[in-house]
Amino acid sequence: MTYTQQNSPIHEALVKHKKNRVVHFDVPGHKGGRGNPELTQFLGAECLKVDVNSMKPLDNLIHPTSVIKAAEELAAEAFGAEAAFFMVNGTTAAVQAMIMSSCKAGEKIIMPRNVHRSAINALVVCGAIPVYVNPGVNRNLGIPLGMSIEEIKKAITANPDAKAIFVNNPTYYGICSNLEEIVSLAHDNNMRVLVDEAHGAHFYFGENLPISAMAAGADMAAASMHKTGGSLTQSSFLLCGKGVDPGYVRQIINLTQTTSGSYLLMASLDISRKHMYQHGKEIIEKTIDLSDYARNEINKLGGYYAFSTEIINGDTIYNFDRTKLSIYTGDIGLAGIEVYDLLQSEYDIQIEFGDIGNILAIISAGDRAFEIERLLSSLSEIKRRYGKDKVGMLNHEYIDPDVVLTPQTAFYSDKKSILLKDSLNHIAGEFVMCYPPGIPILAPGERITKDIIDYIIYAKEKGSVLTGPKDMKVEYINIVD
């Protein structure tokens, strides 16, 4: 059968399967929901009837030959890639597959330190060695920025044997690096460019947006369709450009991805690709209109700063994703995480995350104007009721890591647990990070400094959720013995 972008092969195969009224003597054991009435009542019988296992008519994710293969080919076409893979272990699995298919144990990869934990986890698994490029820092906003071209040039000169350059594009806050220039530099030096595009899946389908990884000539990209493309949570695409062997990439994916791929997740990717391909321009236009309106109104409130393209500097902020509603809260005397908590507990508004100085609200075409107005009025009230002078706020900046051991060596070393307050100058044997966004404050193999200890304590006091350590209260930390 010949498919076009008007088709959704996996979805169509599931609809046909459901109509065939197949008798199931296979897994899952809920048997279309009949074996678990409470779950069926919660999720709906129609949902559970298509929560099925791999079979000939529905193909197999680990070795696709029919409808999944067709859906992957349509996705590659839609994203302008040479190959695309359906990822059901989240964008985390896509990030790890990019790194593990590009770097072997002992090989170097150039990356910014403000990567998602999934990237450093990949180094723990495969044994690659990170060469960190310090991201720029906006000292007023207290956020890491993109990668400076000069810093990348220095890293390439000092490490000509590196296999790849890893780029966050966009960052959680919507900040983009000069991706085309990075690709040109990397390819001139026989290095791959791997792009964590977790927050940029929509770049492929809209207008007036920063350039996408595939359009910039990147070798691989992890596009988190569930974040901004409309698919179900945990579903993502791994995209490959020219010169990447998709057969080998699939082998790497199959090292860690489940053999029981969820057809609910795959169908959601299939339908969302079709939907964005057909309607992406108007979806993105509406999203930008909503974000721009919210930004303008928030900036009229005073005390908050919803930043946008005016912060572009041509290097570490090469471009900005206007769909992102990133808001600095420091001038009302509240940490971002405090505003996050107030919005949730007092106003029943759930935003994406709050860090020390900022909050992030994810806007999409699924939002409605009155909900934007509710956010605006709530922020105004929070400022009036809880705002205070900018006193006692931690002047948070990017903490330059002192990497003593590779993440793999440190993670698998013998460790001992000591009080966090007594850990100064020791080498960390585990992660510490605020989640979201999941960017490590400390990674295995890095020396623990006073700045790091102070930041962790401050983040705890402000109510940030800290993850990573074995001690879930983060009173103790494992160090390399």
d(CA 154, CA 457): 34
Q: Are strands 143-144 and 137-138 parallel, antiparallel or unpaired?
A: antiparallel
d(CA 222, CA 14): 26
- Give me the pLDDT at residue 321, please: 98
Could you tell me if 242 and 331 lie in one domain? Answer: no
CB 231 within 8 A of CB 272: yes
pTM tops 0.85: yes
Q: Which residue spans within 169-215 are E strands per DSSP?
A: 175-176, 192-197
Could you tell me if 102 and 239 lie in one domain? Answer: yes
Residue 212: which of 235, 188, 241 has the closest Cα? 241
Could you tell me if 425 and 370 lie in one domain? Answer: no
d(CA 232, CA 146): 28
Q: Is residue 351 part of a domain?
A: yes
Could you tell me if 270 and 286 lie in one domain? Answer: no
Could you tell me if 126 and 251 lie in one domain? Answer: yes
Could you tell me if 262 and 200 lie in one domain? Answer: yes
Q: Is residue 3 part of a domain?
A: no
Show the domain range for 471.
407-480
What does the chain come to in residues?
A: 481
d(CA 19, CA 14): 9
Could you tell me if 335 and 420 lie in one domain? Answer: no
Last residue of a domain, one of 231, 248, 276: 276
Could you tell me if 243 and 292 lie in one domain? Answer: no
d(CA 72, CA 77): 9
Last residue of a domain, one of 257, 276, 295: 276
Orientation of helix 9-19 relative to helix 263-301, angle to 10°: 130
Residue 138: which of 358, 367, 419 has the closest Cα? 358
Could you tell me if 98 and 66 lie in one domain? Answer: yes
Could you tell me if 412 and 353 lie in one domain? Answer: no
Q: Is residue 236 part of a domain?
A: yes
Q: Is residue 400 part of a domain?
A: no
Q: Is residue 393 part of a domain?
A: no
Write the CATH number for 200.
Answer: 3.40.640.10
- Give me the pLDDT at residue 19, please: 92
Q: Is residue 298 part of a domain?
A: yes
Locate tokens 């879930």: which residue? 472
- Give me the pLDDT at residue 207, please: 94
Could you tell me if 59 and 188 lie in one domain? Answer: yes
Locate tokens 């990075």: which residue? 182
The token pair that represents 282 in the structure block: 């108007």
Residue 5: which of 306, 273, 310 has the closest Cα? 273
Write the CATH number for 435.
Answer: 3.90.105.10
Q: Is residue 401 part of a domain?
A: no
Q: Are strands 192-197 and 220-223 parallel, antiparallel or unpaired?
A: parallel
The total domain count for the chain is 3
Could you tell me if 73 and 173 lie in one domain? Answer: yes
CB 266 within 8 A of CB 88: yes
CA-to-CA separations, 66 to 72, 246, 303, in angstroms, rounded:
10, 17, 56
- Give me the pLDDT at residue 59, please: 97
- Give me the pLDDT at residue 242, please: 96
The token pair that represents 3 in the structure block: 């498919």
Determine the longest span between alpha carbons in the chain, in angstroms. Answer: 67
- Give me the pLDDT at residue 436, please: 64
The token pair that represents 30 in the structure block: 């809920």
pLDDT tens across the length of the chain (481 residues): 899 999 999 999 999 999 998 899 999 999 999 999 999 999 999 999 999 999 999 999 999 999 999 999 999 999 999 999 999 999 999 999 999 999 999 999 999 988 888 999 999 999 999 999 988 888 888 888 999 999 999 999 999 999 999 999 999 999 999 999 999 999 999 999 999 999 999 999 999 999 999 999 999 999 999 999 999 999 999 999 999 999 999 999 999 999 999 999 999 999 999 999 999 999 999 999 999 999 999 999 999 999 999 999 999 999 999 999 999 999 999 999 999 999 999 999 999 999 888 999 999 999 999 999 999 999 999 999 999 987 655 555 556 788 899 999 999 999 999 999 999 999 999 989 876 676 788 989 999 999 899 989 888 888 888 888 999 899 999 999 8
* 3-state SS class at 266: helix
Which residues touch 358 (CB under 8 Å, ≥6 apart)?
141, 142, 143, 173, 326, 327, 328, 329, 336
Residue 397: which of 361, 369, 434, 357 has the closest Cα? 357
Last residue of a domain, one of 276, 302, 327: 276
CB 126 within 8 A of CB 100: yes
